[in-house]
Structure 1
Amino acid sequence: MIGIIYVGSINRCPYLKNYTSCLDELSIDYEIISWDRSASTQNESVEFTAKKHHIFNYPSKEQRNPIYKISDFYRFSRYAKKIIRKQKYEKLIVLTTMSGVVILKELRTRYKNNFIFDYRDASFEYFGPFKSILNKIVVNSSFTSISSKGFLQVLPKNMNYVMAHNCSSFETCIDNNKIKNSKVVVGYIGGLRETDYMKSLVDRFGNDDRFEFIIHGGGENLQELIDYSEGISNVVFTGEYQELQKSKLVKEFDLICYNYPNSFVNDLALANKFYDGLLFRKPLIGNNSTYSGKLIEKQSVGISLDFEDKEYKKKLYNYYINYDAQSFEESCDKLLAEIQSENYFYKKKIKEFFVNGN
């Protein structure tokens, strides 16, 4: 029996499928231990065939100060450890850093070299004690899967890392029937978490006849952003969307906005938007001082700029008007082939771990 640990709702863990699909294919039983931090019923439309799903129902707001969340994580730690000791899983899958932090003792003893650590986000690695704990999780894992090679800048050197892209489908979409707009449609899609950043985008593109700025996504600050953009005709907030709608929404973009502001979290990560650009054949707008922005430029799949550049919009507009669509699509094909190869190796390593062990 395999145990899968995740300190959150499985609805927000799409990469869970990377492991459950392999387990299902190999006919290996598994259980999931997760934490519904909103203390509501988790969406059982998420497909998996776990023998049992242990859900820790305890409210803990994401925006709460990390200091005050320590007691919440301690409660989940006790819950998870109790189940792990009772069920005596043969091996573990540890999804995200905090899932490993709360069961660190078990990972260094009973499950040493007998778990996969799935690392998805940088968070508090600049804090010495936290980084020390992270290093211990990596060192004791059978291997660590990473969703961005940028993370290698903060992870321990010379460990066993496997690239795990946030991309499960490689079905590309080239919409040759898209009607050319009189304006360049810049599209943002995803959760609206950073209010100041979104307002800066509204300020940047608002009331410029060359652009139309469309934002698909929800969040606690959605109404505030709608109010902020009131009266600006070329800026539209559409609100939350269902994942099945994403393809249709992205098709209407000319460029995908992926110029996240600099932060410890953003600088090294590689978001789903990067893959959306490749699959839907939409050039990406990146931040030239982040890992993703440099990758966009290196792979010729968009343009990366300094957001404070006084000629930002001029350079962006000229890029779109003059870019070579055929050359861009060839760059997308080349990069997607590399990604697909790395994902194949990732799945191979998962299966080898389940079947052969260390």
Structure 2
Amino acid sequence: MIVGIICFWDRYATPYLLKYEQMLQQAEVQYEILFWNRESKQSEASFRQQGNEVYLDYNCKEGKQKLFSFYGWAKHISRFITKRKYSHLILLSTVPAVLLMPTVMRKYKGKYIFDIRDYTLEKYFIFRKLVMRLVNHSCLTPISSKGFLKWLDVSPKIIPNHNITVSEDNSFTAPDFSEDCPIRFSFVGNVRLDKQTEAMVRTLGHSSKIKQHYYGRVLSVCNIREIIKEDGLTNVYLHGPFDVKEKETIYKDTDLINTVYANAEKEEDIPLGDSTPLPNRLYDALIFYRPLVTSKGTYLAELSDEYHLGVNVNGFDENLEEEIVNYTKTFDRKAFMDGCDKLRALVTEEENTFRTKIAQIFKTWKEDGC
């Protein structure tokens, strides 16, 4: 018996994979992970294996040609799954799951976990129907944000799954904004820009009161380096990729967490792909007690308001610096920390329920032995 975990990216872009690996190891269930090396220069696909990790080296083209790359990926992965005869699958994200649907529906009904991380092509009626069919034939469908319930149909298979990790350092407390020092404003994760974040980078680019720090891999589609150079920005610092173990150090040097992300200037125009997900930085805020700066009109902003987690802005606001500085001057430390504790308790309860159900599924898979 071997479980196949299907990833549409590399390991660095799939941090939530580790949770499934740990639980499979605890259940003593064998597994293999199929990664896609998109940056390979090879136009002809080939597989290479390192331990229980399998890499598909196959160049992913950009623009309209990307659809052909996706089709090629699905063809090669389907053949590999058939050849390996996996007993069960864990499908990470909607697009790869839909691409593999013929194989999944033919051989794995009721034998897979369908993990939904993002809103992708669900605005298309047929795609959303295919997603819901995958949901209904899964063992379980974890979703990384309850904001997704705005576009998913109701199903007993759906369960919240939170990307929260507990810090070994319990000495963190909320920042002290009483000192007259520049605010350390940090983005932690894969670095990419949308309309609001690009506008914000430029607006705050010469601020003496706010220093913008970006920790993480700059994605190939992100032009932040060009913007810094072209505009001569003086307060934007790119620190490059980091190890998850470095998060505690990063957040010790952080006052506010940058969670601004919205591909529209007006709140009512923000697409569901931007308004409904929850970033890992939310959980970082709850663990490390660092307030959020997030985009108005998003599900994250709703949580921020409900639990007093930070300030909601529009990246296009001309008075952005003033909004952020005023928040720090009127910062209610107790309300913020109480809100973090309250939401963290709810998240922990839901995460424990998720882990219990996954453990039961893995136990059943192992007992079935097929």
**Pairs within 5 Å for 1:269-308:** 269-308=277-316
**C-alpha separation between the residues in 2 aligned to 1:92 and 1:133?**
17
Q: Which amino acid aligns with 1:248?
A: T
Q: 2:340 is aligned with what amino acid?
A: C
Q: Which residue of 2 aligns with 1:189?
A: 188
* 2:350 maps to amino acid: E
Amino acid at match of 1:291: Y
Measure the CA separation in 1 of the matches of 2:203 and 2:166. Answer: 33
Aligned residues: 345
Structure 2 residue corresponding to 1:168, chosen from 150, 165, 169: 165
Distance 1:267 1:11, change over 3 A: same
Asked whether the 8 Å contact 1:294–1:304 carries over to 2, the reply is no
Measured after TM superposition, the shift of residue 95 of structure 1 is 1.0
Runs of 4+ residues deviating >6 angstroms: 176-179
Equivalent residue number for residue 236 of structure 2? 236
Counterpart of 1:23 in structure 2 is 24
Gaps of 5+ in 2: 43-49, 263-269
Aligned to 1:325: 333
Q: 1:111 to 1:199 in 2, by over 3 A?
A: closer
Aligned match of 2:111 in 104, 114, 129? Answer: 114
- 1:274, distance to aligned residue in structure 2 (A): 1.1
Aligned mates of 1:199, 1:285 — CA distance in 2: 15
AA matched with 2:130:
I
CA deviations on 1:89-111 (whole Å, 9 max, x unpaired) are 22111111122112202322321
Identify the residue that residue 223 of structure 1 maps to in structure 2: 225
- Aligned-pair CA distance for 1:146: 0.4
Aligned residue for 2:22, secondary structure, equals: helix
Pairing of 1:318-357 with structure 2 (within 5 A) = 318-356=326-364
Return 302-311 or 270-279, whichever deviates more.
302-311
- Alpha-carbon deviation of 1:53? 2.8
Question: What's the CA shift for 1:174?
Answer: 1.3
Aligned to 1:7: 8
Partner of 2:267: none
Q: Measured at CA, do residues 284 and 144 of structure 1 come closer, stay the same or move farther in structure 2, by a change above 3 Å?
A: same
Unaligned runs of 5+ in 1: 42-49
Paired with 1:53 and 1:96, the residues of 2 have a C-alpha distance of: 18
Question: Normalization by structure 2: what TM-score?
Answer: 0.84
CA distance in 2, matches of 1:73, 1:174: 44
- Give the TM-score normalised by structure 1: 0.87
Q: CA deviation at 1:72?
A: 1.7
In the TM superposition, 1:128-143 aligns within 5 A as 128-143=125-140
Map of 2:100 onto structure 1: 103
- Report the secondary structure of 2:213's partner residue: strand
Whether the aligned pair in 2 keeps the contact of 1:147 and 1:270 (CA below 8 Å) is yes
1:12 aligned counterpart, secondary structure? coil
